Structure 1
Amino acid sequence: MKLAAWNVNSLKVRLPQLLDFLATRQPDAVCLQETKLTDDNFPVAELEAAGYRVAFAGQKTYNGVALVSRSELTDVSVGIPGYEDEQKRVIVATVDGVRLVCVYCPNGQSLDSDKYPYKLAWFDALAAWLKDELARHPKLAVLGDYNVAPEDRDVHDPEAWKDSVLVSAPERDRFRNLLALGLQDSFRLFEQPEKTFSWWDYRMMGFRRNHGLRIDHILLSAPLAAACTAASIDRDMRKLERPSDHAPVVAEISLPA
C-alpha cells in the first residue's frame, strides 16, 4: 500500500499536477490539505475518471481536506469528535482495513498571535482523540501538513528559525505527544539524506537554495510501521511550473494479503 500526503495549496490550481501524480506514482491513497474549495466545486468527476474515489470537506478560500483512494472509503467522518472547530482540517476514512486520518494542522502564525494558543489546543484535542482511535484501529496512519518541524535537522537553518512558529518548543512537545501514543514518523524509519525538506517558501528562491522545513509527515501505528518498506519526499512535484510550496510525502507499506 502506497500512501501519500500533499498540501496542494489550492486544488483548483494544482489539479493537473495531482492527476499527473496519480498517473505516474500510482499511490493507493492520497491525503490532501489546503484544497481551498467548497464541496460543490470539488473535482469529483476528474478524480473518478482517473480511477480514484474521493471524500472531502472544504470551505471557501482557506483550509479544506480530502481523501483520494483507489479502494472504497468507508466509515468516513470529518473533524475531531467533541472539539468545536469551524475550520475544515480533519477527514478520516478506512481503506482496505487501514484507518487513514488526514490532517491539516494549524500554522499558528507567530508566537504572539492568538492563533498560536489555538494551535496548541488543537494538537491537544487531536492527541486525546487519536489515543482512542488507536485503540479502535490498530492499523492507523495520520498523514498531512503538521506545521511542525520536529527536530533541528528538519530545519535548513535552526539558528535563524530559533523561537519561531513551526519550531518552538511547545509545538515540538505536541508532536512528541503524538509519538508517545505509539505512532512512528515513517520518514525516520530509514536512513535519509541530510537537509531533506517538504516545504520551501516561495520567496527568496527558497526551493532553489533548499531553504526549507520538513513539516509534512506520515505517522504510523506500530503494526504499519513494522510493515513500512520505504518513505520519501517527492521533490520533483515542487519543481513544476506553478507548484505548491509543499512536496508530497510518501510511505510504502507491505501489508499481508
Structure 2
Amino acid sequence: MKIATWNVNSLKVRLPHLLDWLAAESPDVVCLQELKLEDKAFPVEELAAAGYKAVFSGQKTYNGVAILSKLDARDVQIGIPGLEDEQRRIIAATVDGVRVICGYFVNGQAVGSEKFAYKMSWLAALTAWVREELQQHPQLVLTGDFNIAPEARDAHPDWKDEIHVSEPERAAFRALLALGLSDAFRLFEQPEKIYSWWDYRMMAFRRNFGLRIDHILISAPLLPQALRCWVDKAPRKLERPSDHAPVIVELKRTV
C-alpha cells in the first residue's frame, strides 16, 4: 500500500503533473494540500478517469486539502472538531482500514507574529485531536505539509530564517511523535540533504537549498509494515512545478 503526500500549490495549475504522476507511480492514497480552488472546481471527473475517488475541502485562492484513493474513503472528517477555523486545512478518512489525516499546517510567517501564535494554537488543537483519533483508529497515518523541519539535518545548513526551524515548532512536532507516531522517512537510512520544498527564487532547487517540511507519520501498529519512504524529486524538475515534491511511504499489505 503506497500512501503519498504532495503540496501541489494550485491543483488547477498542477493537474497535468498530478495525472501523469498518478499514472507513473500508482499510489493507493494521495493526500494533497494547497488546492487553491473551491469545491465546485475540484476535478472529480479527471481524477475518476485516472482511477481515483476523492474527498476534499477547498477554499478559493488559499489552502484546501484532499484525499485521493483507489478504494472508498469512509468516515470523512473535515476540519479539527471543536476548533473554529475558516481555513480549510484538515481532512481525514479511513481507507482500507487505515485512518489517514491530511493536513496543510499553518505557515506561521515569522516567529513572534500573530500568525505564529495562530500556528502554535492550531498545532495544540491538532495534537489533542490526533490523540483521540489514535484511540479510535490504532492504524493511523498523519501526513501533509507540516511547515516544520524537525531537525537540523532537515534544513539546508545555510537556512537563516527562524520560521519552520524554531524550537517551539520543533517541540510541537515532537509532541506529535510522543503520541505514538513515527516519522516514516527516518525509519530508513537516507542520503544527506534530502528536502521536500525549495523556494522558486534564487535557483534554490538547482542549489538544493531546501527544507524537509512534508512528512508522513505512522502509528506503532503500522511500523512492522513499513517497507520504505522517499521523496520523489522528479515532479519538481518539470516546467511550472509545485515548490514541493511528493513524499511516499510504502506499507506491506497484511491481507
What TM-score comes out, normalization by structure 1 length?
0.98
CA distance in 2, matches of 1:178, 1:82: 19
Indicate the SS of the match to 1:71: coil
Task: Give CA deviations for 1:33-67 in whole Å, capped at 9, x if unaligned.
Answer: 00001000000000001110000001100000000
Q: Which of 171, 180, 185 is the aligned partner of 1:187?
A: 185
1:28 aligns with 2:33: no
Structure 1: which 4+ aligned runs deviate by more than 6 Å? Answer: none
User: For residues 119 and 155 of structure 2, what CA distance do their matches in structure 1 show?
Assistant: 20
AA partner of residue 203 (structure 2) = M
Letter in 1 for 2:56: F
**Contact map agreement 1:4 1:27 (CA 8 A) in 2:** yes
Equivalent pair of 1:58/1:65 in contact (CA under 8 Å)? yes
CA contact (8 A) 1:161 1:167 kept: no
Residue 167 of structure 2 is matched in structure 1 by 169
Residues 103 and 143, structure 1, Cα contact 8 Å, conserved in 2: yes
1:242 Cα deviation (Å)? 0.3
What SS class does the counterpart of residue 192 from structure 2 fall into? coil
Is residue 183–residue 220 contact of structure 1 (8 Å, CA) maintained in 2? yes
The residue that corresponds to 1:223 in the other structure is 221
Within 5 A, what are the aligned runs for 1:115-194? 115-157=115-157, 160-161=159-160, 164-194=162-192
Q: Percent identity?
A: 62
Structure 2 residue matching 1:116: 3-state secondary structure: helix
Unaligned runs of 5+ in 2: none
Q: Which residue does the alignment assign to 1:198? A: 196
Displacement of 1:161 in angstroms is 2.4
Q: Which segments of 5 or more consecutive residues in structure 1 lack a partner in the other structure?
A: none
8 Å CA contact 1:149, 1:172 repeated in 2: yes
Alignment match, 2:84: 84
Whole-angstrom CA distance in 2 between matches of 1:177 and 1:24:
35
CA contact (8 A) 1:7 1:144 kept: yes
1:138-160 alpha-carbon deviations (Å, 9 max, x no partner): 000011000000000001125x4
CA distance in 2, matches of 1:91, 1:20: 24
When the two structures are superposed, what TM-score results if normalisation uses the length of structure 2? 0.99
Distance 1:184 1:255 in 2: 19
Aligned partner letter, 2:156: H
Are the aligned partners of 1:100 and 1:143 in contact in 2 as well (CA < 8 Å)? yes
Cα deviation, 1:96-120, whole Å, max 9, x if unaligned, reads 0000000000000011321000000
CA distance, structure 1, for counterparts of residue 197 and residue 93 of structure 2: 26
Rounded to whole Å, the distance in 1 between the matches of 2:250 and 2:229 is 6
For the pair 1:64 / 2:64, whether they are aligned, the reply is yes
Q: Give distance in 2, aligned partners of 1:8 and 1:134.
A: 27
How far residue 204 of structure 1 moved from its aligned partner, in angstroms, is 0.2
Aligned to 2:100: 100
Cα separation, 2, equivalents of 1:187 and 1:64: 24
* Alignment correspondent of 1:52: 52
Amino acid at match of 1:141: V
Give the secondary-structure state (helix, strand or coil) at the position aligned to 2:207: coil
How many residue pairs get aligned? The number is 255
- Give the superposition deviation at 1:225: 2.0
Q: CA deviation at 1:27?
A: 0.1
Confirm whether residue 256 of structure 1 aligns to residue 244 of structure 2: no
**CA distance in 2 between partners of 1:157 and 1:64 (Å):** 31
Q: How far apart, in 1, do the equivalents of 2:233 and 2:129 lie?
A: 32
Secondary structure in structure 1 of the residue aligned to 2:143: strand
